[in-house]
Amino acid sequence: MADPPLPEAPGPWHLEGDIYWMLLKPLKYVPAGAYAPLEEPKDDDPHDRTRRFLGGQGVVWIVRYTESPVGPYDELIYLPGDFITPSGGKAARITRIYVSTAESVYNGAWRRNWNIPKHIARFSFTPQENNRTLIEVFSHGSDASEAPFFAAIATPQKFVPALPFTTRWLGGGPLPHPPIPADPADRPEEVGTAEWTQVDYEVHGWIKIVWWEPAPTRAGSKIPPGEYADGVGFPKIDIRSFGVWWLPGMNLEFGAPKPVEGASSQ
């Protein structure tokens, strides 16, 4: 019996949940593991000019959505910084992203809607002593014996109260992304796209400072001691010791997809 078709959920989207931000130290180049093999730039890439990395503030997002148009899901995002846009400007871009459901991959909070190259992974959030949380991300289909490719421990700051915040105050623009290829394995959720598209977004809610530390090394782990990722399933990251936690009840608004200026010439 054929699997039922995946539900379509066109943008705009409203999502709720909580988000951890890991703030990257400045990068000069995009590291190994920054792209999934399907989206790794090729020598004959027609978007070669727009693959140029310009640096800027990079960030890793770890998200637990409790509400979305395709139901609850988890997410890990790598956004290294700014790239050249088709019009010659610069803008931030997500290069690698994992989510926990096929419905989310297909609709794009990203792929079908906004060209963001989602793939499926398995997520684990384990409470620890002293209000700490162990966050681990595993390959899709892995079992309990397999080590994660990403692991970190988050500890929210205890003594400073939460403060209201919105990303609108940061002044960032939309996120433009180039077309993405379909998965040659013909997974129905990993559809390809043909045109550039971009999205306006805003996060608003209450935030606290969070402290980061690498997770203890597991037996069989491919993550080197003191690191947060294995450099294959997810890029190794050099982060600031503090980050941001958007508390549960956070709201994230993603607009409808929009065309990208200058993209017709790419």
Task: Reply yes or no on whether the pLDDT at 188 is more than 70.
Answer: no
Whether 266 has a pLDDT exceeding 60, the answer reads no
Strand-strand pairing, 118-127 and 96-99: parallel
**Tens of pLDDT, residues 68-102:** 998 999 999 999 999 999 999 999 999 999 999 88
Q: Indicate the pLDDT class of residue 2, thresholds 50, 70 and 90.
A: very low
- The CATH number assigned to the domain with range 13-265 reads 2.40.400
What does the alpha-carbon distance between residue 266 and residue 262 come to, in Å, rounded to a whole number?
7
State residue 79's pLDDT score.
98
The pLDDT tens digits for 100-145 are 988 777 655 445 678 888 899 999 999 999 999 999 999 988 877 7
- Mark 93-118 as b/e (b = at least 16 C-beta within 10 Å): bbbbbbbbbbbbbbbbbbbbbbbbbb
Ranges of each domain in the chain: 13-265
The pair of three-digit structure tokens given for residue 43, joined into one six-digit string: 């020598």
**Once rounded to an integer, what is the mean pLDDT over residues 243-251?**
98
